[in-house]
A and B are shown apart, each in its own frame.
Chain A
Amino acid sequence: MTNFTENTQENEVTAAQAAVTASELTSSGPEEDVVISSYLVSTFQGETAQAAEAISQIAGVEVHETHDTTLVVTIEAPTIAASTKVATEVNLTKGVVTVRLIFANFEDDPIIKRQLEINRAKKVLEDELEKQQAK
């Protein structure tokens, strides 16, 4: 039987690629762009505590609760891209079986912010046009 539970070379390489640098998450003040998501992280029996400890060391990750072998985790990152990198690193952590996304707020992600700006500007123009037509 093949043992897949050890971190293989492939996992190490991918984890290195996925690791978020501290600079990407350094808080620069009271207001900053942040994508916030929450996950249920399933762990192997007997490895929950160790997985929780390892995950909580990842920048942007907070372990809130443990329910048997399932961890309740939030991830804060500046963009969807950065957030997914972190989620991948969580997924590759020793002891983790699967990661299920529950919630994601991405109103601060550049792609979403850009679209919000476009829509809001369009709305302003439409309202202005409507006012002029009403006159």
Chain B
Amino acid sequence: MEFSRRQFVKTSAAAMAGAAAVGTLGALVGCDDENGGGGGGGGTTKDGVTSVTVCRYCGVGCGVLVTTVDGVITETVGDPDNESTLGALCVKGMHLASLLYCDGRLTTPLIRDDSSTKGTDGGLREATWEEALDLAAGKLRDTWKNDKSRLAFWASGQMPICEGYILSKFWKAGMLSNNIDPNARLCMASAVVAFMNVFQTDEPANCYNDLDLADVFVTWGANMYEAHPVLYSRLEARKNHGAGVKHYDITTLGTQTSKSADKVLIMTPGSDNAIANAIANYIVVNELYDQAYIDDHLVFKTGTENLGNNYDDTYDGSDIGRAVGAVTPCTFDVYKERLAPYTLEYAAELSSVSAADIEELAKVYADKNTKVLSLWTMGVNQHNRGVWMNHNIYNIHLILGKYALPGCGAFSLTGQPTACGTAREVGTFAHRLPADLVVNNPQHRRFTEAVWDLPKGYLDDELDDDDEPIPGTGIATPGKHTIRIFQDISKGNMDFLWSACNNWAVSLPNLTRYLGKGDQKGIYDTFIVVNECYPTLSTKYADVVFPVAMWVEREGAFGNAERRTLVFEQAVEPPGEAMWDLWVYLQMAVRVLEGEKIDGKDAFDVLFGFIWDKEAGDFVGSQREVNQRIWDEYLIFTNPGLKKAASDIDLDVDELFGTKNDEGVYTPSKLKMYSKQMAPYEVYLNSHGLTWPVREVNGEWLSTKWRFCDGKQEDGFDEEGIKMYGKDGKAGVGGISYYKSAGLKPSVVFRPWEPPAFMPDEQYPFWFVTGRLLEQWHTGTNTALIPALNNTLPDSYLYMNPGDFDAMDLKEGDEVVVTSHYGTVTVKATKQQRVECPPGVCFGTFFEESRLINLVVQEIYDPISKEPDYKKTTVSIVKK
């Protein structure tokens, strides 16, 4: 770089950071395009083009402006106009561009002719798109026609919204299959189920602004420093500048997040439900709850208990397995009675956290003048009682009336960049449809049929001779969840698997089983198709690999952890023959659905004719136009007034789904689909992300920051939602209206403590906790390519307690053999204190393919959410 330019760039860099420090970065790098997008000359380069994008890594959803020169990204700057992150990025953001250009990028389709080469470095040959598509589509169609229970798609919380939407439509309406489940099953399913159980609507009510307002932060099993770094910065800034602001960290091991906490409560793995119940018990015993709030807003329930664990594949179909989700109404008095055994002393005994510390925390929660923000993620979700633990955190907040308020609430943090926007909001789950709808609700299916122009009843299961539904013939019965899909693959019960935006061969638990390293070899017989950008372990098992675009090589939209939907512009072209995933889905769909009819019309045209020209064999327009059209249809789900047929079902105009009382008075079943209202696509193009529900007020589309909380819409409160759906259009006690909950009342469900599936014993004396560290994202398919990040975190070490480490006479970097009930793996051991493990606990990250720590991780999942418990595998450790 020439000297004067260097000076210019450096001066600009300093100026931008200085502006960011005082909140004026927008004035320096604000978008000058008349549409609010990136538009013209950008960054420090005269001929550069700036595009509005978002980071492709974690659920924080940091806004990024990229500058492109000659079709290459040469600069990034945090987007100051993205209200989620106000111009900040973490170290991974430095490498967003280079990850597009690393060696080994896939640019042509690949086919494996000999399945015995699966799992090896070889066996894949280059092919044309036509050959690869014909082969893959042929296999999919054959499986579909023979037995559609034997096909599945493993989707992703990293898949852009419109891609996920069309894929889901192909699977659920095109093939009438619910065997589509995302990798978000492995991270957010417990949170999702709890949201639906408690509030009858998914996703947090609070927003990132609460990090600037809270008086106390309580992190439950959340290493935000490593996993949500920019949010952690905000928490720290609040602590540094707010008078008396405190942070309590409840965790099974000390982390970088613990560094700044005022109190760290190291608990025995699996004991968090006891701690939470002890806090709730303290509140009720000392009558610190908000009675008026309880009377106005809450109902109480108990649920099925003594759930056991899935020690084998028969659990889901067992008596208890089929009863896990059942709940029964009860009174507040019954709830109090059920809490009674959870004294401080009992919780201390189970958790090893002192009674005094639990009491201190309870008092903090209960203090009427203290705004408390609870934050959690995988420590709570990846848990054999993860749904229950989510419930128990909500229980504390709800009985205190401390939810959905500025600076005060319970914030379930999302791991992936668009697990919210795609997997959850679009519904690429085995049991879901878009916008909180579920497959097993007839009204929800009717609504979906109305949006998708399908005949009434099209999505229902067929009826047998006795007029009973035949499960699996339609989509009225939920399909296979993730673990079930891979269990069936391992047993040879699946013939076709397709995956995109994930790396199941590294991220699944019990890889010993699923990768055929034990006695179940089904992986070798299943026809596997993988959409990928770089070779991964999953592509080593694939029969067909489709090379696809990544990040800003196509236009897309993400939805982050605080419900912010953002459209990211295409900034560069994908390399070689790599194609947009959406193109691949439609090329497959046109082949699979050939000759199929819906109501006498060509099935493909009914479903996708609005975006795909069959004659031309391509999209009807540009990526922008296609995304716009898809969004226009998707928008109806949350704006039913755009289509009468949908609106009629939303309002139950024909009185088909409600109830009639003894007097014959009909109460309609209203879906309240505006509760998650999205805005038109062009509104997102002209903004840098909006948090839903987005409301049109006086011609302007306004975000909602605090769902259910009354106040001016322009200030971020849920004014319009409450007017629409609140009781008599008003909020209740505390200025809150839970208008999406049944009877306007969320559920406080008593959930007991139950032990982990396995406890340490003589054979497996250690707890093994898995997780992420800052520099390596997930399975390293992107970050491990980048020399800088790899140098900082080059291997997946086993972090051990120093005492345990020394007792084994280990030296730094010695290899150890880690064995569990499920498998064995060799890793390097360390007692470095980046992760501070208590005695008997060890920690490992899952990004390193050559280590593959998930070979030992248990297959145990939460019985209700089916989310695996990655945090409590019991293992032995032996020096190699």
Contact = CB atoms under 8 A, between A and B. Distances in A.
Interface string A16-45: 011000000000001111101111101011
B459 interface: no
A62 B11 CA distance: 11
B6 A69 contact: no
B605 to A, nearest CB: 36
B77 A103 contact: yes
Determine the interface band of chain A, counting residues with CB < 8 A from chain B.
Answer: 35 or more
Interface in A48-78: 62, 64-65, 67-70, 72-74, 76
B233 A100 contact: yes
A111 interface: yes
B694 interface: no
Given A80-B94, A105-B74, A112-B98, A74 B10 contact: yes
Given A10-B834, A76-B10, A101 B89 contact: yes
A101 B264 contact: no
A98 B2 contact: no
Interface string B614-633: 00000000000000000000
Contacts of A10: 832-834
Contacts of B791: 17, 81, 84-85
Given A40-B17, A74-B17, A109 B98 contact: yes
Given A4-B259, A97-B236, A119-B70, A80 B98 contact: yes
B21 A67 contact: yes
Contacts of B9: 36, 105
A104 B94 contact: yes
B87 to A, nearest CB: 6
Contacts of B16: 38, 102-103
Nearest to B241: A68
Contacts of A68: 240-241
A34 B97 CA distance: 16
B97 A72 contact: no
Interface in B784-843: 786-789, 791-792, 812, 832-834, 836
B260 interface: yes
B225 A98 contact: yes
Contact of A84 (B22, B74, B788): B788
Contact of A115 (B72, B260, B834, B836): B72
Contacts of A80: 94-95, 98, 786-788
Contact of A44 (B18, B240, B256, B792): B240
A93 interface: no
Interface in B206-247: 225, 229-230, 232-233, 236-237, 240-241
Contacts of B90: 100-101
Given A2-B836, A10-B834, A115-B101, A84 B94 contact: yes
A102 B88 contact: yes
A112 B232 CA distance: 30
Nearest to B233: A98
A5 B254 CA distance: 12
B665 interface: no
Given A1-B264, A2-B258, A42-B237, A9 B77 contact: no
Given A84-B789, A102-B13, A103-B78, 19 more contacts: A4-B258, A4-B260, A30-B3, A38-B17, A40-B17, A72-B14, A82-B788, A84-B91, A88-B91, A100-B233, A101-B88, A102-B77, A105-B13, A105-B43, A106-B75, A107-B45, A112-B97, A112-B98, A116-B72
29 contacts: A2-B254, A4-B258, A4-B836, A5-B259, A10-B833, A30-B2, A30-B3, A33-B1, A38-B14, A40-B17, A64-B14, A74-B10, A76-B6, A80-B787, A81-B786, A81-B788, A84-B94, A84-B95, A98-B225, A98-B233, A100-B78, A103-B12, A103-B13, A104-B77, A104-B94, A107-B75, A115-B101, A116-B69, A116-B74
The 10 closest A-B CB pairs, nearest first, are A10-B832, A84-B788, A4-B259, A38-B17, A38-B13, A81-B788, A10-B833, A107-B74, A100-B88, A101-B89
